[in-house]
Structure 1
Amino acid sequence: MKLIKREWNNSFHTIVQHKKSCFLFCVYMTHKHTGLSSLRVLHLHRCTSLATLSSLPTTLESLSLEMNWRLEDASLPNLRDLTITRCPKLKRLALHALPKVDLWGSNSVGPQSLYIL
Protein backbone atom coordinates (compact mmCIF):
# COMPACT_ATOMS: atom_id res chain seq x y z
CA MET A 1 0.00 0.00 0.00
CA LYS A 2 1.19 3.48 -0.80
CA LEU A 3 0.21 6.58 1.14
CA ILE A 4 1.94 9.86 0.50
CA LYS A 5 1.33 12.74 2.86
CA ARG A 6 2.80 16.17 3.37
CA GLU A 7 2.63 17.84 6.79
CA TRP A 8 1.44 21.43 7.10
CA ASN A 9 0.86 23.14 10.47
CA ASN A 10 0.75 19.76 12.24
CA SER A 11 -2.13 18.66 9.99
CA PHE A 12 -2.46 17.01 6.61
CA HIS A 13 -2.06 19.38 3.68
CA THR A 14 -1.99 16.94 0.79
CA ILE A 15 -2.94 13.28 0.64
CA VAL A 16 -2.44 11.24 -2.50
CA GLN A 17 -4.15 7.87 -2.68
CA HIS A 18 -3.35 5.04 -5.07
CA LYS A 19 -5.12 1.68 -5.33
CA LYS A 20 -5.55 -0.22 -2.05
CA SER A 21 -4.31 2.54 0.25
CA CYS A 22 -7.56 4.40 -0.39
CA PHE A 23 -9.37 1.86 1.78
CA LEU A 24 -7.38 3.04 4.80
CA PHE A 25 -8.18 6.65 3.96
CA CYS A 26 -11.90 5.89 3.54
CA VAL A 27 -12.01 4.32 7.00
CA TYR A 28 -10.05 7.28 8.37
CA MET A 29 -12.50 9.74 6.77
CA THR A 30 -15.57 8.06 8.24
CA HIS A 31 -14.34 8.82 11.74
CA LYS A 32 -14.13 12.55 10.88
CA HIS A 33 -10.69 12.75 12.45
CA THR A 34 -9.65 16.30 13.39
CA GLY A 35 -6.24 15.75 11.79
CA LEU A 36 -7.86 16.51 8.43
CA SER A 37 -9.18 19.92 9.46
CA SER A 38 -6.49 21.73 7.42
CA LEU A 39 -6.64 19.51 4.33
CA ARG A 40 -6.37 21.70 1.21
CA VAL A 41 -5.46 19.34 -1.68
CA LEU A 42 -6.68 15.77 -2.26
CA HIS A 43 -6.07 13.33 -5.13
CA LEU A 44 -8.16 10.14 -5.12
CA HIS A 45 -7.18 7.52 -7.70
CA ARG A 46 -8.87 4.10 -8.05
CA CYS A 47 -10.72 4.25 -4.75
CA THR A 48 -13.20 1.55 -5.71
CA SER A 49 -15.00 1.44 -2.35
CA LEU A 50 -15.50 5.21 -1.96
CA ALA A 51 -19.17 6.16 -2.49
CA THR A 52 -19.38 9.67 -0.98
CA LEU A 53 -17.16 12.59 -0.04
CA SER A 54 -19.45 13.88 2.70
CA SER A 55 -16.81 13.48 5.43
CA LEU A 56 -14.24 15.74 3.79
CA PRO A 57 -13.39 18.95 5.66
CA THR A 58 -14.73 22.22 4.27
CA THR A 59 -11.14 23.53 3.95
CA LEU A 60 -10.57 21.42 0.80
CA GLU A 61 -9.65 23.70 -2.14
CA SER A 62 -8.39 21.29 -4.81
CA LEU A 63 -9.76 17.83 -5.62
CA SER A 64 -8.77 15.34 -8.30
CA LEU A 65 -10.95 12.24 -8.82
CA GLU A 66 -9.81 9.49 -11.17
CA MET A 67 -11.39 6.07 -11.68
CA ASN A 68 -13.53 6.19 -8.53
CA TRP A 69 -16.20 3.78 -9.71
CA ARG A 70 -18.66 3.93 -6.79
CA LEU A 71 -18.52 7.66 -6.00
CA GLU A 72 -22.06 9.06 -6.32
CA ASP A 73 -22.20 12.48 -4.65
CA ALA A 74 -20.18 15.27 -3.11
CA SER A 75 -20.75 18.69 -1.58
CA LEU A 76 -17.63 20.84 -1.34
CA PRO A 77 -18.31 24.51 -0.50
CA ASN A 78 -14.74 25.91 -0.67
CA LEU A 79 -13.42 23.96 -3.64
CA ARG A 80 -11.60 26.10 -6.23
CA ASP A 81 -10.10 23.45 -8.50
CA LEU A 82 -11.74 20.18 -9.55
CA THR A 83 -10.68 17.45 -11.98
CA ILE A 84 -12.92 14.44 -12.66
CA THR A 85 -11.74 11.50 -14.77
CA ARG A 86 -13.70 8.26 -15.28
CA CYS A 87 -16.20 8.46 -12.40
CA PRO A 88 -19.26 6.97 -14.17
CA LYS A 89 -21.55 6.77 -11.13
CA LEU A 90 -21.06 10.39 -10.08
CA LYS A 91 -24.59 11.79 -10.26
CA ARG A 92 -24.61 14.92 -8.12
CA LEU A 93 -21.95 17.47 -7.32
CA ALA A 94 -22.76 20.61 -5.32
CA LEU A 95 -20.16 23.39 -5.45
CA HIS A 96 -19.95 27.06 -4.55
CA ALA A 97 -18.41 29.50 -7.09
CA LEU A 98 -15.91 27.08 -8.60
CA PRO A 99 -13.59 28.86 -11.07
CA LYS A 100 -12.02 25.72 -12.64
CA VAL A 101 -13.67 22.39 -13.47
CA ASP A 102 -12.13 19.71 -15.70
CA LEU A 103 -14.23 16.71 -16.76
CA TRP A 104 -12.31 14.02 -18.65
CA GLY A 105 -12.60 10.42 -19.72
CA SER A 106 -14.18 8.25 -22.36
CA ASN A 107 -16.06 6.18 -19.76
CA SER A 108 -17.15 9.18 -17.72
CA VAL A 109 -20.77 10.15 -18.22
CA GLY A 110 -21.18 11.81 -14.83
CA PRO A 111 -21.82 14.03 -13.18
CA GLN A 112 -25.40 14.10 -14.41
CA SER A 113 -25.94 17.34 -12.53
CA LEU A 114 -23.42 19.95 -11.49
CA TYR A 115 -24.60 22.60 -9.04
CA ILE A 116 -22.58 25.80 -8.77
CA LEU A 117 -24.10 28.10 -6.18
Structure 2
Amino acid sequence: MSGIQKYSSIEQAIGLYQSGNNKRTNKDQTGKSFQSVLDQVSSLTFSKHASERLEQRDISLSDEQSKRLEDGVDKAEKKGIKDSLVLMDSLAFIVNVPSHTVITALDSDESKDKAFTNIDGAVIV
Protein backbone atom coordinates (compact mmCIF):
# COMPACT_ATOMS: atom_id res chain seq x y z
CA MET A 1 0.00 0.00 0.00
CA SER A 2 2.94 2.34 -0.22
CA GLY A 3 1.74 3.49 -3.67
CA ILE A 4 -1.45 5.03 -2.27
CA GLN A 5 -1.29 8.64 -1.16
CA LYS A 6 -3.48 9.98 1.61
CA TYR A 7 -4.96 13.45 1.48
CA SER A 8 -6.51 15.33 4.36
CA SER A 9 -9.01 17.10 2.08
CA ILE A 10 -10.36 16.99 -1.44
CA GLU A 11 -8.92 20.49 -1.96
CA GLN A 12 -5.42 19.19 -1.25
CA ALA A 13 -5.86 16.38 -3.76
CA ILE A 14 -7.25 18.75 -6.40
CA GLY A 15 -4.47 21.28 -5.73
CA LEU A 16 -1.82 18.63 -6.20
CA TYR A 17 -3.48 17.38 -9.37
CA GLN A 18 -3.88 20.89 -10.82
CA SER A 19 -0.33 21.94 -9.97
CA GLY A 20 0.94 19.39 -12.46
CA ASN A 21 -1.26 20.97 -15.16
CA ASN A 22 -0.35 24.62 -14.58
CA LYS A 23 1.63 25.00 -17.80
CA ARG A 24 -1.19 23.73 -19.96
CA THR A 25 -4.15 25.46 -18.31
CA ASN A 26 -2.58 28.74 -17.14
CA LYS A 27 -4.23 28.20 -13.77
CA ASP A 28 -2.68 28.45 -10.35
CA GLN A 29 -3.16 25.91 -7.58
CA THR A 30 -6.49 27.43 -6.60
CA GLY A 31 -7.82 26.88 -10.12
CA LYS A 32 -7.93 30.60 -10.96
CA SER A 33 -6.86 31.69 -14.41
CA PHE A 34 -4.01 34.12 -14.85
CA GLN A 35 -6.44 36.77 -16.12
CA SER A 36 -8.66 36.49 -13.03
CA VAL A 37 -5.61 36.96 -10.80
CA LEU A 38 -4.63 40.06 -12.80
CA ASP A 39 -8.15 41.42 -12.55
CA GLN A 40 -7.99 41.16 -8.77
CA VAL A 41 -4.84 43.30 -8.65
CA SER A 42 -6.53 46.22 -10.38
CA SER A 43 -10.26 46.69 -10.41
CA LEU A 44 -10.05 48.48 -13.78
CA THR A 45 -9.30 47.16 -17.21
CA PHE A 46 -8.55 49.23 -20.27
CA SER A 47 -10.13 48.33 -23.59
CA LYS A 48 -7.87 47.96 -26.58
CA HIS A 49 -9.19 51.30 -27.85
CA ALA A 50 -8.43 53.04 -24.52
CA SER A 51 -4.95 51.53 -24.38
CA GLU A 52 -4.24 52.75 -27.91
CA ARG A 53 -5.53 56.25 -27.07
CA LEU A 54 -3.36 56.46 -23.94
CA GLU A 55 -0.32 55.50 -25.97
CA GLN A 56 -1.14 57.80 -28.92
CA ARG A 57 -1.80 60.74 -26.61
CA ASP A 58 1.26 60.00 -24.48
CA ILE A 59 -0.87 59.73 -21.35
CA SER A 60 0.56 57.76 -18.47
CA LEU A 61 -1.14 57.44 -15.12
CA SER A 62 0.73 57.56 -11.85
CA ASP A 63 -0.18 55.08 -9.13
CA GLU A 64 -2.02 57.90 -7.33
CA GLN A 65 -4.00 58.78 -10.46
CA SER A 66 -4.86 55.13 -11.08
CA LYS A 67 -6.18 54.89 -7.53
CA ARG A 68 -8.24 58.07 -7.96
CA LEU A 69 -9.68 56.75 -11.23
CA GLU A 70 -10.65 53.49 -9.50
CA ASP A 71 -12.23 55.51 -6.66
CA GLY A 72 -14.20 57.52 -9.22
CA VAL A 73 -15.53 54.35 -10.82
CA ASP A 74 -16.48 53.02 -7.38
CA LYS A 75 -18.41 56.26 -6.69
CA ALA A 76 -20.20 55.95 -10.03
CA GLU A 77 -21.10 52.34 -9.25
CA LYS A 78 -22.55 53.31 -5.86
CA LYS A 79 -24.73 55.91 -7.60
CA GLY A 80 -26.00 53.36 -10.13
CA ILE A 81 -24.25 54.92 -13.12
CA LYS A 82 -23.73 52.52 -16.02
CA ASP A 83 -21.58 54.59 -18.39
CA SER A 84 -19.66 57.40 -16.72
CA LEU A 85 -17.49 60.32 -17.66
CA VAL A 86 -14.70 60.50 -15.07
CA LEU A 87 -12.85 63.82 -14.98
CA MET A 88 -9.46 63.87 -13.27
CA ASP A 89 -6.85 66.61 -13.45
CA SER A 90 -6.69 67.47 -17.16
CA LEU A 91 -7.92 64.06 -18.30
CA ALA A 92 -11.33 62.67 -19.22
CA PHE A 93 -12.21 58.97 -19.21
CA ILE A 94 -15.33 57.22 -20.46
CA VAL A 95 -15.87 54.12 -18.32
CA ASN A 96 -18.34 51.26 -18.54
CA VAL A 97 -19.00 50.99 -14.82
CA PRO A 98 -20.51 47.47 -14.51
CA SER A 99 -17.50 45.91 -16.25
CA HIS A 100 -14.98 48.37 -14.72
CA THR A 101 -13.63 48.97 -18.22
CA VAL A 102 -12.14 52.25 -19.44
CA ILE A 103 -13.50 52.73 -22.95
CA THR A 104 -11.48 55.78 -23.99
CA ALA A 105 -9.27 58.52 -22.59
CA LEU A 106 -8.80 62.13 -23.66
CA ASP A 107 -6.48 64.89 -22.54
CA SER A 108 -7.57 68.48 -21.92
CA ASP A 109 -6.88 69.64 -25.49
CA GLU A 110 -9.11 66.96 -27.00
CA SER A 111 -11.90 67.24 -24.47
CA LYS A 112 -12.42 70.98 -25.04
CA ASP A 113 -15.57 71.80 -26.97
CA LYS A 114 -16.54 68.11 -27.06
CA ALA A 115 -19.97 66.77 -26.29
CA PHE A 116 -19.93 63.49 -24.38
CA THR A 117 -22.75 61.18 -25.41
CA ASN A 118 -23.96 57.79 -24.28
CA ILE A 119 -23.16 58.45 -20.62
CA ASP A 120 -25.62 58.56 -17.77
CA GLY A 121 -23.46 60.26 -15.18
CA ALA A 122 -20.19 62.01 -14.45
CA VAL A 123 -17.73 61.89 -11.57
CA ILE A 124 -15.03 64.46 -10.83
CA VAL A 125 -12.06 63.14 -8.86
TM-score range, shorter chain: under 0.3
TM-score, structure 2 normalization:
0.22
Larger Rg: 2
Instruction: From the two aligned structures, give the one with the greater strand fraction.
Output: 1
